[in-house]
Structure 1
């Protein structure tokens, strides 16, 4: 069962009310000052831990009012989707008088944990998070502390938290259905090997489109491209990995009618592998990407791709977070899925 997210940050007064003592006594106990018995000190400590209360290093600012500052935890700023997302969040937050503090996780659980701890202690008004989805979930503690936060792009199914994401399932389904409508019958997908919900959703959209068209779909048609996100901070993907996997596929005598790739960078490597084998796109095979990054329309041939609504995702996330910060009635915690757009160009014969 998903854990309930408190409506607001836990305060010193919450702890005092819970144990039936004054806020002054609770404050002295938590700061280790004299005049509080050990038994009472322990009872206060346990109550603070149970409630998720964390002493705020910016307590004076909280007394005076809001910091008007929002945290933003992103996995990789060189990802064009996240670059646009950051810009949209910053612009919308600025319209409401809020500043942004950026934290980078680089898909590292350790860095994500450090970011979560900083978020709790920094006195931010709220935080927008792209979770790593690693073996642990540090955002549980943020939720217990009452910090308003919104998850974007990925999901945390064990927390009842507001989520805004691109409908990756719909995007992959539309891309696959498009090449099927163009006559493709044998189709291969190139995807990242990260175990995150966005990739799972794209793979499912690919599978379902094939099944609905009564076309074969087995694991051999889904090639998981090694990602460099966990050991590189420059680019989230490497076109060379997709190139090598495509060369290997073609060298084994398999030439699909179409390729659906999880991001446009993979298409760069795929195009090169096709050219080296004397194959032409779209005459010999179709290619459709994901992302509609700035270079997509300038490739030869221009790349059909799924345009991601990063700006809309960002603006929607800010709106939800501000509702939480203001203490408005909580919006539905069902994920909000923003629809992508299939952009057709010459790589699929259109």
Structure 2
């Protein structure tokens, strides 16, 4: 079924059908009603590819996320898709699986598909393709992670205050030997979280020796291996802070595999709260990012760029959710068990 068939059914010109379907004001109400009735009767669907060639727009956004198996990024992708749909856009998602080369493959593929704009959570800080795409001037927005020296809007959460709140909470509970499983130093979030942790420890006069710092890759296996090394030390830490939810689950597996209990034998906390943490035994203290808000803000910023407006970077605040994995919370402190 073509637009010519709709025009014949409605008794109007092809140009009138086109104007009516594009909601142009030059079409009379009577003609518009006849066109819509013909569309309904014939079951006509506009050719999206042909329309994109005429308008130079596909009404499609690309989203390249770091790891679709990470519940945080799954929720982020869902909020992006929902907000884009509300604004009349579709979303094509590429999963980088924390691999820069796979990230670049998805970016190249999406650009070849003539998407209108691109949302990226970079898997590392030095992808030449991301640099090239940004410098080419096409609409792009970073979400969650970013590349600092690129002039691209960034939609992110600031977790530094929440990390300070976490260390304060641990200090009140009497913990003094605190270890961290940090993320990759090549990512902005990996660097920011360990820097915030060290700064918070310094506030209380606590050391952060190299022995209490392990670097993972935001995957559960790396959290398990780092925890095994911590537990094998002559003086293990009293607390393990995993800078990512999957690394925290790996840490929990390693603790249980050695017959130890949280928090009786060792405390555990995580960055990036996920629904599973409420159901673990015990529920895990975690820093929660406003994931849904991040996704919605990222879409609005990208659509602003696509439609010729000047978006601003947005920084939202993460928050600490205290549960039982670090010990009983002091009276009156927020808890979510």
Match of 2:277 among 292, 296, 301: 296
Select the residue among 61, 66, 71 that pairs with 2:57: 66
Structure number with bigger Rg: 2
Alignment correspondent of 1:268 = 249
Bigger relative contact order (CA 8 A; separation at least 6): 1
Separation in 2 of the partners of 1:124 and 1:155? 20
Determine whether 1:76 maps to 2:67.
yes
Q: Match of 1:175?
A: 166
1:305 to 286, 292, 295: 286
Q: Secondary structure at the match of 1:159?
A: coil
Q: Is the alpha carbon distance of 1:274 and 1:83 closer, same or farther for their aligned partners in structure 2, counting shifts above 3 Å?
A: closer
Matched, 1:339 2:330: no
What do residues 62-111 of structure 1 show as CA deviations (whole Å, max 9, x unaligned)? 42353211111112211111100111011111111111112222233332
The structure 1 segments of at least 4 consecutive aligned residues displaced by more than 4 Å after TM superposition are: 275-279
User: Cα gap change, 1:282/1:327 in structure 2, threshold over 3 Å: closer, same or farther?
Assistant: same
Give 1:49-60 correspondences, 5 Å limit.
none
Aligned to 1:210: 201
> For residue 106 of structure 1, what is the aligned residue in structure 2?
97
Q: Is the 8 Å Cα contact of residues 120 and 147 (structure 1) preserved in structure 2?
A: no
Decide whether the 8 Å contact of 2:70 with 2:246 is kept in 1.
no
Deviation at 1:220, TM superposition (A): 1.9
The aligned counterpart of 2:86 is 95
Map Cα deviations across residues 166-203 of structure 1 (whole Å, 9 max, x no partner): 21333333322321222211111112345211010000
Structure 2 residues not aligned, in runs of 5+:
1-48, 330-337
Higher alpha-carbon deviation: 299-308 or 130-139: 130-139
Q: Which residue of 2 aligns with 1:191?
A: 182
For structure 1, the residue ranges without an aligned partner over 5 or more in a row are 1-57, 228-235
Q: Distance in 1 between matches of 2:315 and 2:132?
A: 26
Paired residues for 1:5-154 under 5 Å: 61-64=52-55, 66-133=57-124, 135-154=126-145
Cα separation, partners in 2 of 1:105 and 1:184, compared to 1, 3 Å:
same
Equivalent of residue 320 in structure 1, options 301, 319, 324: 301
CA distance in 2, matches of 1:253, 1:289: 24
Shift of the 135–324 alpha-carbon distance from structure 1 to 2, 3 Å rule, reads closer
TM-score of the aligned structures, taking structure 2 as reference length: 0.76
In the other structure, the counterpart of 1:237 is 219
Give the deviation of 1:277 after TM superposition. 5.1
Could you give the per-residue CA deviations for residues 18-56 of structure 1, whole angstroms, max 9, x where no partner exists? xxxxxxxxxxxxxxxxxxxxxxxxxxxxxxxxxxxxxxx
Partner of 1:138: helix, strand, or coil?
helix
Over the residues paired in the alignment, what is the CA RMSD in angstroms?
2.3
SS of the residue corresponding to residue 198 of structure 1 reads: helix
Specify the SS of the correspondent of 1:131: coil
